[in-house]
Amino acid sequence: MSVEVLNETTTKIDELEFAQLGRFVLDSLNVHPQAELVISFVDPNTIAELHERFLDEPGPTDVMSFPMDELRPGSEDEPGRPGILGDVVVCPDVAAEQAREMGQSLEDELLVLATHGILHLLGFDHAEPNEREAMFGLQRKLVLAFIASR
């Protein structure tokens, strides 16, 4: 499984930790071991440009996902197919603001956002209340399990 982490910001990011998070989430969801994922950390201007270009919404956001091969979770007996999962783009500046508002650390918020982005790449969504409950429940479970595994 290939997980590449790029930090294009001045924020200190433990790139190894986020590579481990990516592998943990993909392994937990039985994604094929030959899947590829990129997690990028970018500044507010970069994510604002992406936000406007791809979602036609102004200003920076916390996380965006760009799926490639539409990979889906597999099962223990049959992992999903190999391919390029896609890119997760996270903005630490927006995350820092949200972390302060929620009374949690920036690191924890970044773990949540990266996991959220990976779940979007795997086809999860939160447009409907039942989808939101399922996705956010799984997101919380994965982040807590990852933190406990360190």
Delineate the domains of the chain, giving CATH numbers in brackets.
2-149 (3.40.390.30)
H or E element in which residue 146 lies:
helix 129-149
Amino acid at 2: S
Radius of gyration of the chain (CA): 15
Tokens of 112: 């949540």
Residue in 88, 140, 135 with CA at minimum distance from that of residue 114: 88
Total residue count of the chain as it appears in this document: 150
Residue in 110, 87, 89 with CA at minimum distance from that of residue 98: 110
Cβ-in-10-Å burial (0-12, 13-18, 19+) of 68 comes to middle
pLDDT (tens digit, 9 = 90+) per residue, 68-121?
999 999 998 898 899 999 999 999 999 999 999 999 999 999 999 999 999 999
CA–CA gap between residue 147 and residue 85 (Å, rounded)? 23
User: What pLDDT is stored for residue 45 in this prediction?
Assistant: 98
pLDDT (tens digit, 9 = 90+) per residue, 12-28?
999 999 999 999 999 99
Dihedrals phi, psi of 87, to nearest 5 degrees: -120, 140
